[in-house]
């Protein structure tokens, strides 16, 4: 390889690596289908990078609980253990969906969302979801290089193909999925995280922030379907 070709190769390589680590929270505007129902389960489509909503629980249930969260949001991290405990207890009766909503002042939230989505492409979405929240204090203030290394190590700890994970992390499909989630949140006039919707109706913070109250709401909704 002559000197000029080597310089070109080096510049291309540096550009590729930079694309992986410099993953800011500026999310492109995602177009939504004209008739999209933001409160309905979203199937894989051309708008969301062919990555469907991530669902947990009874996929045939008439009851859907949607959470919009930011992985770097302290409030989301604090409430997550309670939400996951409730979801596990009600998994036979309801369907739970998590969508991304990025807060602009959280520098690492988009990279974290991409980490979960990239893990999902290898069948480990919920496992990575839990790791990101449980280890939030370990990665939330890392710089762009440190956070990429950290997220790749997380992927490795889950047994993922880290080469594929690293490529997916910066892929158009993952970026489109995140942008689509944000567009759905915007359509729902959401402005904060965490936010919850039960069958399309917003749940107030006094309810989702109180385990007993949230369980009572779910019990009431389940009773209505019987």
Answer yes or no: is 168 within a domain.
yes
Structure confidence at residue 5 (pLDDT): 37
Answer yes or no: is 185 within a domain.
yes
Answer yes or no: is 23 within a domain.
no
Structure confidence at residue 9 (pLDDT): 33
Report the 10 Å Cβ neighbour count for 19. 11
Q: What is the pLDDT of residues 54-84, one digit of tens each?
A: 999 999 999 999 999 999 999 999 999 999 9
Secondary structure (3-state) at 95: strand
Overall average pLDDT of the 153-173 stretch: 98
Structure confidence at residue 120 (pLDDT): 98
Instruction: Give every CB contact of residue 60 below 8 A, 6+ residues apart in sequence.
Output: none
Residue 32, both tokens: 């939504």
Answer yes or no: is 113 within a domain.
yes
Domain hosting 75: range is 40-224
Render 16-30 in DSSP notation, one character per residue. HHHHHH---S-PPPP
Q: What is the pLDDT of residues 7-31, one digit of tens each?
A: 333 333 333 333 444 345 555 555 7
69 phi/psi in degrees, rounded to 5: -140, 160
How far apart are the C-alpha atoms of 77 and 96, rounded to whole Å?
17
Number of domains making up the chain: 1
CATH number of domain containing 199: 3.40.30.10
Answer yes or no: is 32 within a domain.
no
Q: How confident is the model at residue 170 (pLDDT cuts 50, 70, 90)?
A: very high
Answer yes or no: is 89 within a domain.
yes
Structure confidence at residue 13 (pLDDT): 35
Answer yes or no: is 35 within a domain.
no
Answer yes or no: is 5 within a domain.
no
pTM: 0.87
């Amino acid at each position: 390889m002559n000197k000029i070709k080597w310089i070109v190769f080096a510049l291309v390589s540096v550009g590729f690596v930079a694309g992986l680590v410099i993953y800011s929270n500026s999310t492109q505007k995602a177009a939504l289908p004209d008739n999209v129902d933001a409160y309905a389960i979203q199937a894989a489509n051309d708008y969301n990078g062919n990555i469907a909503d991530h669902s947990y629980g009874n996929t045939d249930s008439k009851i859907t609980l949607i959470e919009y969260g930011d992985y770097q949001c302290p409030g989301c991290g604090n409430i997550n253990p309670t939400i996951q405990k409730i979801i596990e207890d009600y998994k036979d009766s309801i369907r739970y969906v998590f969508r991304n909503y990025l807060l602009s002042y959280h520098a690492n939230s988009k990279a974290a969302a991409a980490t979960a989505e990239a893990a999902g492409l290898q069948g480990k979405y919920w496992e990575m979801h839990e790791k990101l929240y449980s280890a939030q204090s370990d990665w939330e203030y890392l710089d762009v290089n440190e956070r990429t290394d950290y997220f790749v190590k997380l992927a490795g700890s889950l047994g993922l193909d880290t080469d594929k994970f690293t490529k997916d992390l910066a892929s158009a499909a993952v970026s489109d999925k995140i942008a689509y989630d944000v567009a759905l949140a915007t359509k729902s006039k959401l402005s904060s995280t965490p936010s919850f919707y039960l069958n399309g109706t917003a749940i107030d913070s006094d309810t989702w922030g109180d385990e007993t109250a949230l369980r009572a709401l779910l019990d009431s909704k389940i009773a209505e379907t019987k």
